[in-house]
Amino acid sequence: MTEQEQQILAQIKVVLVDLFELDEEDIVPQARLYEDLDIDSIDAVDLLIDLKKSTDVTVTPEQFSEVRTIQDVIDVFTALSAKK
Amino acid sequence: MVKRGLKKAWQITGAAISYTLFGLGALIVGLVFRLISVIPGIPAATRQTWIRNCIHAGCRGFILTLRAFGLIRYQFALNSMMQASGGHLVIANHPTLIDVVLLFAVRKNFCCIVKGELWHNMFTSAVVRQAGFIPNHSAELIPLAVEKLAAGENLIIFPEGTRTETSDIIRFKRGASNVAVASGAPIVPVLIKCNPGALKKGDKWYTIPDEGLCYTLTSGKRLHLNELIDTTKPKTLQYRELTRFLEHYYKDWMA
């Protein structure tokens, strides 16, 4: 994992702990959002709004629809930050 | 022995007749409204009212038929639900097949969320679409529900999402809380009890206890979101808190 990815993961962790009553140690790259972390599609909408605020990166619901795991989230944000 | 056999045969015949009439009724209403849908000049809102009135009357007819055959008895203590003006979210536990039919029979003009199968089924699709119901597979489910509530409709949601597997354990999904938090609509809780347990998930419609089913429907005091949970927290936490609150509420209520 690159340094940038680790930074993104750290940011994601903060948001997920705040929004979803999760334990930090459960938020690992291979964790599946729905099955392991109980984050559904409605939650995902709220999550994107919050991530937009805290990371200043805009992710559309379409870009997020393929996301299944925490690693996928990291990938989306890495790709988008690279474009900025 | 013979007497019991006869009684069983009578019950099953009664159930078969009731369900057949119900199916035929839905079919006829569906056909009529399919025809009406091509007549120009009738506003969708008018069609929606007509069809919801038909649904109300049909469901009433159905439960009266079931009662006439001695298949069910019922008692309603639904004052708070009947008095609720528009824009309320009516939630109920879901022990049996005909729960929604009972609710439709008691009060006119409910909106509800329907399974994708009914949305696409050729017998039911015309009815559920023109009745302005909400398909549960829609990505727009929450905004649609919020829109209906804001327009003053009363919306029924079964927070369990499907019939309860084992009669006593209540497990709510978050959908009802999603709608409640997104809309801010007041909630009218309804408790449905059915003794003895029958028409549960996996039960056959013709498996009916000898003495018939006894339903009791009770509605509780109206609940306002800000009295139940901390509405200043992020919505995602509100969904979870409200779901837990409602689960406990029903657990206590059933005990």
> What's the pLDDT tens digit per position in B19-66?
899 888 888 888 888 888 788 888 888 989 999 999 999 999 999 999
Provide the residue ranges of all domains of chain B, joining segments of one domain with +: 2-254
- Segment B157-177, tens digit of pLDDT: 999 988 877 656 789 999 999
Lowest mean pLDDT among B26-30, B106-110, B200-204: B200-204
Which of 107-126 (B) contact A at CB < 8 A?
none
Structural domain total, chain A: 1
Give the residue ranges of DSSP H helices in B95-185: 99-106, 116-120, 125-130, 141-150, 175-183
Instruction: Please tell me whether residue A59 adopts helix, strand or coil conformation.
Output: coil
Residue B174 to residue A18, Cβ atoms within 8 A: no
Helix (H) or strand (E) holding A50: helix A41-55
pLDDT value of residue B247: 95
CA B179/CA B161 separation, integer angstroms? 13
Q: How are strands ordered across the β-sheet holding B187-195?
A: B72-77, B213-219, B187-195, B89-92, B154-157, B110-114, B134-135
Residue A21 to residue B235, Cβ atoms within 8 A: no
Tell me, yes or no, if B235 comes closer than 8 A to chain A by beta carbon: yes
Which residues from B are below 8 Å from A17, CB to CB?
none
pLDDT value of residue A29: 94
pLDDT value of residue B1: 64
CA A58/CA A18 separation, integer angstroms? 20
**pLDDT value at B224 more than 70:** yes
Which CATH number fits the domain that encloses residue A14? 1.10.1200.10
Q: Higher-confidence residue: B166 or B226?
A: B226
Name the packing angle between helices B175-183 and B235-254 (round to 10°): 120
Fold for the domain defined by B2-254? Glycerol-3-phosphate (1)-acyltransferase (3.40.1130)
**pLDDT value at B197 more than 80:** no
- Segment B132-164, tens digit of pLDDT: 999 998 888 999 999 999 999 999 999 998 887
pLDDT value of residue B229: 96
Share of chain B above pLDDT 70, in %: 98
**pLDDT value at A84 more than 70:** no
Tell me, yes or no, if B38 comes closer than 8 A to chain A by beta carbon: no
| Segments forming the whole domain that contains residue A24 | 3-83
Residue A42 to residue B174, Cβ atoms within 8 A: yes
Record the tokens describing residue B109, joined without a space: 């003009």
**How near does any CA of chain A get to the CA of B142, in Å?**
8
pLDDT value of residue A53: 81
Provide the mean pLDDT of chain A.
87
Residue of B nearest to A48 (CA): B236
**pLDDT value at A33 more than 90:** yes
Q: Which of A18, A20, A42 is the closest to B178 by Cβ?
A: A42
* AA identity, residue B76: F
What number is the ipTM of this complex? 0.88
Record the tokens describing residue B153, joined without a space: 């409709």
